[in-house]
Structures are given as structure tokens and as C-alpha cells.
Amino acid sequence: MELMERQETWSITYNHALGETASYFYAKIRDEGAIYGKRCAKTNRVLVPPRSFSDETLLPTTDWVKVGPGGRIEAFTIVYEKFNNLPDPPYAFGYVLLDGADTALGGYFKGIDLKDPAAAAAKLKVGTRVKAKFAEKRTGAMLDFWFELA
Amino acid sequence: MGLRNQPGVIGCAIRPVIAPRDRSLEEVIYDTAQLALTDAGLTIEDIDGIVVAANDQFDGRSISVMMASGPTGGVDRDIMSTPSASEHAFVLGALRVATGQFRTQLVVSWSPTEVSSMPEAQRLGADPYFHRALPLDELSAHALQASAVEQVQPDARTAAEAVAAKNRSHGQQAWPQPPVTAAAGPMRWPVTPAMTSAPVTGSVAMVLATPDFVQQRSLRDVAWIQGMGWATEPSFLGDRDLATAPALVAAAKQAYDGAGITDPISAFDLAELTDATPYTELLAYEALSLCPRDQWAARAADGSFAQGGKLPVNLSGGVLTWNPVFCTGMIRIAEVANQIRGRAGRHQAANVRRGLAHAGSGFAMQYQSAIVLGKEARA
Amino acid sequence: MSGNRVGIIGIGQSEFRSRRDDASYPDLVREGVVRAMEDAKLDFDAIQAVVYSLSPDAMIGIGNAERLGIDAVGGRNKPFLRINNGGATGISSAVAAYYHIASGMFDVVLTAGADKIGECGDSQTVLNKIWDPSYERPLPLGTINMLAMSAVRYMDRYGMTEEDMARVTVKNRHHASLNPKAHLRKEVTIEDVLASRIISWPIKLLDCCPQSSGGAALVLASERFIKDNKLDAVWITGVGHAAETYWMGDRMGNNPTAEHADAYALGRSFEKSYRMAGITDPMKQIQVAELYAPFSSTEYHSIDAARLSPSPQETIQRLRDGEYQIGGRIPVNPSGGTLCTNAIAVTAMARVAEIALQVWGRAGAHQVKGAKLGVASGNGGDHQIFGTMVIEA
């Protein structure tokens, strides 16, 4: 028998409240081109991106700490497959431990030739030093900055 | 009621409305969980397990439990989620305590208003096979149910108007700066603006514990679960008689059997029933054996279910006062628990020994739950 | 606990495939349920409560799709609730059903679900929305990329190579070739895997699970009911869940509690299950394992977390030596595992079902000879929420 299909698309808009902590973080990125983390007073760990409470101690974080722009690669991947709603491949991104931080922050890695996967992976290996770079025009968003080899 | 360990409610945080929007959803959940722990006199170290409930389409997240794990203390703890209904998180938390494999459970639910159109988010709950093309959101389903009720009980409308007025009056006492009193959004006949309230951001958290834990910590102000029932209507509205609530009849039987209740109308000092519209409260009266439909109008008129009446219903003001859509069910349970614990606030009733909570959620009350809570450990 | 045990008395699974255009979503749920009920030799009236297994709504494209499955599981007027712990949902649902019975309130509980991932055109888009809206979603995160980064760290710390990853695929595809319910059943070689196209380095196409459609169901019962009705059963003797931080970047950097290379909370969950089941020496006592591993690389840290190896380096060596294949010391994923079949809502339930079949001696061509005690696991969220179970004959 004939088997039919019906195409359905979900499209819903959300306006997520960011709260004071993330708002401060983005304002600093936009206005100063700087990345800030927040310290948990009990463990002394600096959480980047900043959270208003530590999920380990469940205590509110206290003081702001400017971190980076230097740091080291903690994890990376290089994507060669096209996914819907994601950029055209290839691209590299991952997590970087910025100087002064205790947790790693996500971002794109730019300025690396990705044609040869093994060679690119060797350049991005865990522990490699990188530096955060900021866009000239910043809107206060995660993509206002990226990482390049130091 | 067959439970190996009878769970007790030892802490509650009821936040039926949260404004302004100066906290992220994750931070709202953190605040609520912390308030419940404080109310219980515990810290997160005392919590053995967590159950959360939220609606991914309201939250705008694909798996809400992920974001909620941190703020509820889920890191290095046992956490599960029941996205079917907020009241289901309470039920599962209670079952987990009853096994004796956990001393305590923290149960948390929330309902934000960050989606640009709540009806649109709800319409995704209509199946793509037969119903997605219809304008079927929760209010439409409530309206279909209301018209079905009016069809078989013509004076239900009079009763519904009286129930709405009662709950708004209760709400004004419970909430000194009363909120917007009616939905601003579009209505669906026969549901009028006075019969609903607009969605708000809210959340609720409760702490449950075993009798051993309650004794070891010398906790007072415990609301014990004496009976618990939950049941479900079929998938399609067209397969149901919307003028009745058979799943609630089934849930009530489980709860009453568990609590040993044979005469419900005289068994409780108060009740909190889900009044998404006053028609749902009326249907609950009947399904919970509190009042047959031919007496709805008379009992609504004589104040039987109002403050000072035979069985005060929704002293909190109910959903008609604050409507954090997804978590209204668990809020009803927490309201009854706090009445028994003497911690209900401005709307605290005197000498509450036993109360009944009803949670109804989904399209036209698809999920039905009845919880009997009491001051005494055993019914 | 004797006399208060909880047993599995019925198991149903679909033959998992890419597409099931002949069946609607509830039809697929029904398929698993009917098979489980036939296996349990019970009428629907015997079912006292239902736990519904469903992970993201958006993957199936229906909000609260459990409501659409109520009829398929016979839930009308019965206690019914849904579990969603992401990829762990299937095992979390089985554990929730276990709690229903262990509470003393019920004797017979059904848990069931299905998925049709093949119908979702944007699964990595859906999965991007599991992350924080502002901090993480702007990044091209998806579950493949997330676990590629775990693999990178595992390589860096323990010396896993791309060949080692390929070895897992070769092993599990061989196992799947013996299992008619598995989705990807074609045997492959290490060379095939290494030559397959790179998705997210170091993960290649053949290091990845498929997107599967199918249903699964389990019937659980109290020991009293099983004995009174003289039923055959296998026993759930240990259960547990544990979670770790939502924030992937917190699993890196300076001395993280939960290292992203590893599966910290999976280990914590296994600790709970083992304590409950009285397992003190997993490498000696456990005879078979079904560990949720949707990518070849993730089987390594799952074996570590289950303590089926003394160290990660040793896990890599033992896998090279064939110790985790059927016929080896502790077969892992004899069904072919998640790597060969992934219908997300029931993937972790299939792990439970497969271990139950193994210790029951009913696994068929992929039976591990003489297995009487096995373990199952499920991973959910961004490698964050884990459920585990010990099942014994």
C-alpha cells in the first residue's frame, strides 16, 4: 500500500533571562574585550564562564576575576561533516583553560590549516598555548572572541 | 497503603510567581531548592536523591534535567526526571523514599514564561498524525471539557462562576498585592477571562524523608503521605467523555484505599484542587467523591468549599490566582503539606489534621493525581 | 532483601532499523509492549502501573509524546509516568519501575518506549539545545563533537589510538552480526573504519552509532508475585544513578572532580549498584556487560568505570587482546551494543533487556556461555547522568 509522510517543523522563539552573572560577563566582553570568571570562596576555584553558584559546593560565588587572554588547549575537535544549522566544515573548536581560571571555556580555533586532519590535530593537541582574540565589533556574545595559537 | 516506609514531607518552598526576571532559570531553580532545604532544616549533604520535572518546550531546552542537575544538587547524586508532570516527580520521590533505599528525596519543578507563545509550545503536544493541524492548546482542551460539562449539567456555568469568584477571593487574602486577576490572552468559549489566569513564572520544591530519618533528626512539622494515587486518560481527546474524569476516580480510589478513607467529604480539613478553570475544580469535586454534579451549584452558592465552609478548597487562591502552568500540580501538594505543617503563611487554616491535594495536568486533565496528607504518620 | 526482590519476567524488543515507515510512533511502542507481554505470558489486566521511557520530545517531533503512547502501553486509568534522563532514559525507566515495586505499592509494572530517530532531520540541532542557551549553544556543540573531545583527552592521557577505537567497532559489529535485532550488522575491518570519512576528528563514520527506529519493553514483578504465579524470572540485585557537572569545561582544567576523558559519575553509579548487589570484585564476579557506548572511543571509559579492568592503559591492552569479545574473559556488548543500534529513548533499556536475556540463557547466537551475573549501564545528558543495574539469574 502507499505509505505517506508529512513534514513538520518546530520553530519557537525564547527570550532567556541571563541573570546578573552572565549579563556582567557579556557586558565585559562587549565593553572591555575581556573575559571574567567568578570565584567560589570555599574551594577558591575560578569558574569560567562565570556561574552565580558552584554546582559542587552549592554556595554562591563571590568575587570577579579577570582571566586570560592566554591559555592552554584542554580539548578540541575538527569537524569535517556538514550538520544542519551548523557552519560549513571544516572548522575546529574546543575548550581552553585561560590563565587564572580553573575551568575551561569553549570557543572556535581560528588561523589553522585544517586540510590535513592529522597535521591539524597535532597543532591543536592538548596542552598547546593559545590566546583569546576579540572581534572589533562586539555585541556581548560568545562568538565575540575565539582562540589562535600563541 | 502498602508502602514499606511511609514518606513524610519535611520541607517545602512554594514560589507560585517569580518576578522580576533578574535570575536565569537555572538560578531560579537553585533559589527554590535552597529554600526547601532551609525549610527542612537540612543541607544538600542530607539529600540522597533528586527528582525533577519540567516541560522541555516551555523551558526551551531539549533535556531540562541536565540544566537542573547542578542547581538542585545533582552533582554526584542520584537524579531522575519525570517530564510528564510536576506531580509525577513528587510521586516518584515518594516511591523512592518508600523503598527504604533512600533516607530523603528533594523534588523540584518549575515553569518559566520565556517562550514567546505558550499556546504554540503546547500545540507541539498535539500529534502530527491527526491533531497538529488543529488549534489545540491547553486552553482549547479546557474549553472543550467545559462545554462538554455544560452540555450534561446546564447549571455548571453558575457553579463555575462561583468557584472562580471563591478562588479569587481566597487569592486576595493569601496574596496581599493581588496579581492581575484575569488572563489577558484570547479566550475559548465557554471559558471567560474571569475563569483563567495568565501564565507566570513559578517553581516549587519539596523534601521527603523516611520515618527513621524524621525520628533521628527529631523533625517536627511533618506532613505524612497517607495515600497516593495517580492515573491517566487515554491519548486522544476524542476517545474520552470529557464531561467525566475517570482517571481521577481511579487515582482517588488508590489514594483513599491507601489512607483508609471511606467518607471523603468528612475526612479532610481542607483541599487544594487543580483549578486550571473552575470546571476542572468541579469535575474534581465529583471524581473525588466530595460533591456530585447535581449539587455543584448549590454547594458553590452556600460556601461549602469556601473559607469557613465545610471543606475549604484552594485557600491558596489556586491556579486562578497564580498559574505557573507546568508546576501547578506539585504546588497543590506542597500547599496541603504546608497547611498540615502549619507553615502555609497568610492563608494558614487552624488545626489542619488531614488534607487532600489534587493535581491535574495535560490536555483536559489527562494526568490525574490524588494525594492524602496528614499530621499523623498512619491514617 | 530475600522475599522482597524484584524480577524481570518479560522482555520485548523490535528489530531495529533506520526507518519504520510502516509504523507510527505509538505503533512502534506497541510492538515492544506486545512482545514483552507475550514473553511474560500475562494479560494487560495484570499490569498495575506503567513507566514510560522517552528522551527528548524534539527528537520524535511531538511535545510530551508520552501522552500519545498512553494507549500503546495500556495506560488508561492506570498509574503512568514518564522518565527522561537523556540517553540513560531506558535504564532510568527500568530503575523507576523497580522502585515502583520495591516501594511495596505494586506487584507488576510495565516499562516501555520507542524512538524513530530516522525521522528527525536535525538530531544534532536538537542535541545542541541540550546546552546552556547563551554560554554554549553558539558553539557547534553536538553529542558527536562532545564525545570527540572526550576521545581526544582519553588519547592524551592514556595512549588510545585511532586503531584502538576502530577495534571496538570491529568487535561490536561482529557481535551485532550474531544478533538479528541489531541495526548495523555488517562486519567491518580496522582498515574499513580508518578509511571511513572523518566526522569530528578523531571520530570517523564507522566509530559512530546509527540513528535507529524501534521499540522496547520490560515487565517487572515482585518476588511474591513471581513465586505465587510460578513464573520464570531473572533478578535485579543492584541499581544506581549518579550525575556529574553539566558544564563540560568544568571537566577539564585544574583538577576536575569529573574528568571529561573518563566517566566519573558512571563509576559512582556502578559503585552504588555493586554495593547493593554485594559485588566486591567486578573483574571476577561479572560475566557479561552491556555498557552504553554510542561511539567506539566511549566503550573504553565505560569499561574503566565498571571496573572491568585495572586501569585505562590495561583496558586498551585487553581490548587488543580480545578479552571483551564473545569468548573472551568478560564480553562487553555481545549484542553489538549502542554502537550498532541507537533508538535513543530505549537504547539503555535494550542494555537491560540484553543482560536479562544473557543471564537467563536466552540470548541466542550472541549468548555468553554460562553467564549468570551481568551489568548494564546508560549515559544521558552531555555525558552527565548515568544509570546502572546488576542482573542475576
Q: Report the number of distinct structural domains present in chain C.
A: 2
Indicate which of B18, B27, B30, B108 best probes the interface with A, i.e. most A CBs within 10 Å of its own CB. B27
| pLDDT surpassing 60 at residue A41 | yes
- Spatial separation of the C-alpha atoms in residues B18 and B36, rounded to whole Å: 15
**Cα–chain-centroid distance for residue C355?**
10
Indicate which of A48, A58, A83, A112 best probes the interface with C, i.e. most C CBs within 10 Å of its own CB. A83
How many CB pairs lie under 8 A apart between chains B and C? 202
Is the CB of residue B174 less than 8 Å from the CB of residue B317? yes
Residues C223 and C344 in one domain: no
Cβ-in-10-Å burial (0-12, 13-18, 19+) of B180 comes to exposed
- Is C188 contained in some domain? no
Q: Which three cell numbers stand for residue B51?
A: 527528582
C242 and B78 in contact by Cβ < 8 A? yes
Tell me, yes or no, if A18 comes closer than 8 A to chain B by beta carbon.
yes
pLDDT tens sequence across C372-383: 999 999 999 999
Closest CA–CA distance from residue C263 to any residue of chain B (Å): 12
pLDDT tens sequence across C12-67: 999 999 999 999 999 999 999 999 999 999 999 999 999 999 999 988 889 999 99
**Cα–chain-centroid distance for residue A35?**
11
Tell me, yes or no, if A7 comes closer than 8 A to chain B by beta carbon.
no
Residues C218 and C341 in one domain: no
- Is C168 contained in some domain? no
For residues B310-319, average pLDDT: 97
pLDDT category, C2, cuts 50, 70, 90?
Answer: very low
* CATH homologous superfamily, domain B8-116+201-216: Thiolase/Chalcone synthase (3.40.47.10)
- Spatial separation of the C-alpha atoms in residues C379 and C41, rounded to whole Å: 31
B125 and C63 in contact by Cβ < 8 A? yes
C383 contacts: CB under 8 Å, gap ≥ 6: C146, C147, C150, C248, C260, C263, C298
Tell me, yes or no, if C145 comes closer than 8 A to chain A by beta carbon.
yes
A83 and C254 in contact by Cβ < 8 A? no
- Is C183 contained in some domain? no
Domain boundaries, chain A: 19-149
Is the CB of residue C338 less than 8 Å from the CB of residue C16? no
Residues of B in contact with C241 (CB under 8 A): 49, 78-80
Nearest to B268 by CA among B372, B338, B178, B360: B372
**Which residue is associated with the grid cell 514473553?**
C39
Tell me, yes or no, if A105 comes closer than 8 A to chain C by beta carbon.
yes
C79, C132, C243 member nearest B74 (Cβ)? C243
Strands B49-53, B78-81: pairing is parallel
C260 and A101 in contact by Cβ < 8 A? no
A8, A16, A21 member nearest B114 (Cβ)? A16
- Is C178 contained in some domain? no
A14 and B114 in contact by Cβ < 8 A? yes
**C43 or C2: whose pLDDT is higher?**
C43
A75 and C153 in contact by Cβ < 8 A? yes
| pLDDT surpassing 50 at residue C1 | no
- Spatial separation of the C-alpha atoms in residues C306 and A104, rounded to whole Å: 27
Tell me, yes or no, if C100 comes closer than 8 A to chain B by beta carbon.
yes
pLDDT value for C127: 85
Closest CA–CA distance from residue A134 to any residue of chain C (Å): 16
Cβ-in-10-Å burial (0-12, 13-18, 19+) of C257 comes to middle
Q: What angle do CA A86, A92, A96 make, to 5 degrees?
A: 115
Is the CB of residue B242 less than 8 Å from the CB of residue B272? no
**Residues pairing with C201 in the sheet:** A78
Q: Which three cell numbers stand for residue A16?
A: 532567556
- Spatial separation of the C-alpha atoms in residues B252 and B107, rounded to whole Å: 22
Nearest to B36 by CA among B369, B373, B330: B330
Q: What angle do CA B294, B298, B301 make, to 5 degrees?
A: 145
Residue range B136-184+225-374 in CATH 3.40.50.150 = no
Is the CB of residue C7 less than 8 Å from the CB of residue C236? yes
Owning domain of residue C38: 6-121+211-228
Tell me, yes or no, if B34 comes closer than 8 A to chain A by beta carbon.
yes
Tell me, yes or no, if A56 comes closer than 8 A to chain B by beta carbon.
yes
pLDDT category, B187, cuts 50, 70, 90?
Answer: confident
- Spatial separation of the C-alpha atoms in residues B377 and C16, rounded to whole Å: 49
Q: Which of C170, C199, C228 is the last residue of a domain?
A: C228
Strands B202-209, C234-243: pairing is unpaired
pLDDT tens sequence across A69-78: 999 999 999 9
Residues of C in contact with B362 (CB under 8 A): 64, 67
pLDDT value for B249: 98
CATH number at residue C84: 3.40.47.10
Point out the least confidently predicted range of B17-21, B286-290, B316-320: B17-21
For residues A54-73, average pLDDT: 97
Domain boundaries, chain B: 8-116+201-216, 136-184+225-374
B57 contacts: CB under 8 Å, gap ≥ 6: A12, B115, B121, B122, B124, B125, C57, C63, C64
Give the full edge-to-edge strand order of the sheet including A35-39: A46-47, A35-39, A64-67
Q: Which residue of A has its CA nearest to B127?
A: A8
Q: Is A143 helix (H, G, I), strand (E, B) or coil?
A: helix
| Straight-line distance from the first to the last Cα atom of chain C, in angstroms, rounded to the nearest whole number | 16
Is the CB of residue B7 less than 8 Å from the CB of residue B225? yes
- Is C336 contained in some domain? yes
For residues C289-296, average pLDDT: 98
| pLDDT surpassing 70 at residue C247 | yes
C381 and B57 in contact by Cβ < 8 A? no
Tell me, yes or no, if C276 comes closer than 8 A to chain A by beta carbon.
no
pLDDT value for C284: 98
- Is C10 contained in some domain? yes
Indicate which of B66, B136, B254 best probes the interface with C, i.e. most C CBs within 10 Å of its own CB. B66
Q: What angle do CA C30, C32, C34 make, to 5 degrees?
A: 65
The Cα-based distances of C346 to C212, C341, C373 in angstroms read 10, 10, 22
pLDDT tens sequence across C96-133: 999 999 999 999 999 999 999 878 777 888 888 899 99
pLDDT value for B186: 59
Q: Which of residues 18-77 of C touch A (CB under 8 A)?
A: 21-22, 58, 61
H/E/C letters for each residue in chain C? CCCCCEEEEEEEECCCECCCCCCCHHHHHHHHHHHHHHHHCCCHHHCCEEEEECCCHHHHCCCCHHHHHCCCCCCECCCEEEECECECHHHHHHHHHHHHHHCCCCCEEEEEEEEEHHHCCCHHHHHHCCCCCCCCCCCCCCHHHHHHHHHHHHHHHHCCCHHHHHHHHHHHHHHHHCCCCCCCCCCCCHHHHHHCCEEEECEEHHHECCCCEEEEEEEEEEHHHHHHCCCCCEEEEEEEEEECCCCHHHHCCCCCCCCCCCCHHHHHHHHHHHHHHCCCCHHHHCCEEECCCCEHHHHHHHHHHCCCCCCHHHHHHHHHCCCCCCCCCCCECCCCHHHHCCCHHHHHHHHHHHHHHHHHCCCHHHCCCCCCEEEEEEEECCCCEEEEEEEEC
- Is C254 contained in some domain? yes
| pLDDT surpassing 60 at residue B181 | no
- Spatial separation of the C-alpha atoms in residues C225 and C202, rounded to whole Å: 50
| pLDDT surpassing 70 at residue B182 | no
pLDDT value for B180: 56
B187 contacts: CB under 8 Å, gap ≥ 6: B139, B143, B193, B196
Check for a shared fold between B8-116+201-216 and B136-184+225-374. Answer: yes
Strands B270-272, B354-361: pairing is parallel
Residues C357 and C223 in one domain: no
Nearest to C203 by CA among C162, C231, C164, C235: C162
Indicate which of C254, C255, C297 best probes the interface with A, i.e. most A CBs within 10 Å of its own CB. C254
